[in-house]
Structure 1
Amino acid sequence: MARLYADEQFPYEVVEHLRDLGHDVVTVQEARKANLKIPDDEVLAFASSNERVVLTLNRRDFKRLHRYVPSHAGIIICTDDVDRSGLAKRINAAILAGEPLAGKLVSVVRPAR
């Protein structure tokens, strides 16, 4: 399964579901031992240096970072969804379909209602 790094706004409930699915997920808060405002480029650099794929809801900024820093461990951008379990399952499916994720930008969107 994937090694993931969830940025500071990523829903913790989704992190827990991903862990239940067998993924190794570390959050910014766990890695930094504080809930700090960390710039997106530092999130990406930390994740890449630790061979972890970034999980984020910050679609616009990480799309830009992907263009400027194409050499990374992977980025998964998501639209938020109140169905946390469903979001985790869609992320899991995207990971399985896209491996290896290094250098890729993967988009996981909320289903149409």
Structure 2
Amino acid sequence: MRLLLDEMYSPSLAERLRDAGHDVTSIVESGRAGSPDADVFALSIADDRALLTENVSDFVQLAAAQTSSGLSHPGVLIALSSRFSRRPSGAVALSAAIAALRDTDIADRVVFLEAIGRAAD
């Protein structure tokens, strides 16, 4: 699964997820930090990358508007801060949660990630 990390995630977290075998890029690494959420969502669609974010309200609305317009998107993964740390140490828990979805088609869906096997860091 190809992922785009929203700007609340650091480049070091993106790097740790890549080290764990995930195809990840981030808004911060792309130099687009501070972009409006609609632009971030459009970039995830253009790059065919599911968006990983904590921003439930904005991206659930954007995803719903996209699908209700008959258009597709690669999916939105929600990693609630109560379940997953933004710090690089949180990469282990995030990586496991993402890997658990490896064989799941998340296109046009919003999926709330669940911590796998242990408490999130």
Tell me the TM-score range normalised by the shorter chain: 0.7 to 0.9
Determine helix, strand or coil for the equivalent of 1:55.
Answer: strand
Fraction of identical pairs, as percent: 31
Aligned to 1:54: 51
Q: TM-score, normalised by structure 2?
A: 0.75
Q: Does 1:26 align with 2:31?
A: no
Q: What is the one-letter code of the residue matched to 2:112? A: S
Q: Does 1:101 align with 2:100?
A: no
Say whether the 8 Å CA contact 1:72–1:102 is kept in structure 2.
Answer: yes
Determine helix, strand or coil for the equivalent of 2:3.
Answer: strand
Distance 1:29 1:13, change over 3 A: closer
Distance 1:92 1:12, change over 3 A: farther
Structure with more of its chain in helix, by fraction:
1
Q: TM-score, normalised by structure 1?
A: 0.79
Aligned to 1:73: 74
- Matches of 2:57 and 2:15, distance apart in 1: 25
Distance 1:103 1:51, change over 3 A: same
Offset, 1:69: 1.1
Distance 1:46 1:25, change over 3 A: same
Distance 1:40 1:29, change over 3 A: same
- Matches of 1:88 and 1:14, distance apart in 2: 10
What residue ranges of structure 1 are gaps of 5+ in the alignment?
none
- Matches of 1:108 and 1:17, distance apart in 2: 18
Say whether the 8 Å CA contact 1:7–1:55 is kept in structure 2.
Answer: yes
Runs of 4+ deviating beyond 2 Å: 10-18, 109-113
- CA distances 1:2-42 after superposition (whole Å, capped 9, x unpaired): 111101012445423321231111110222x25x3111111
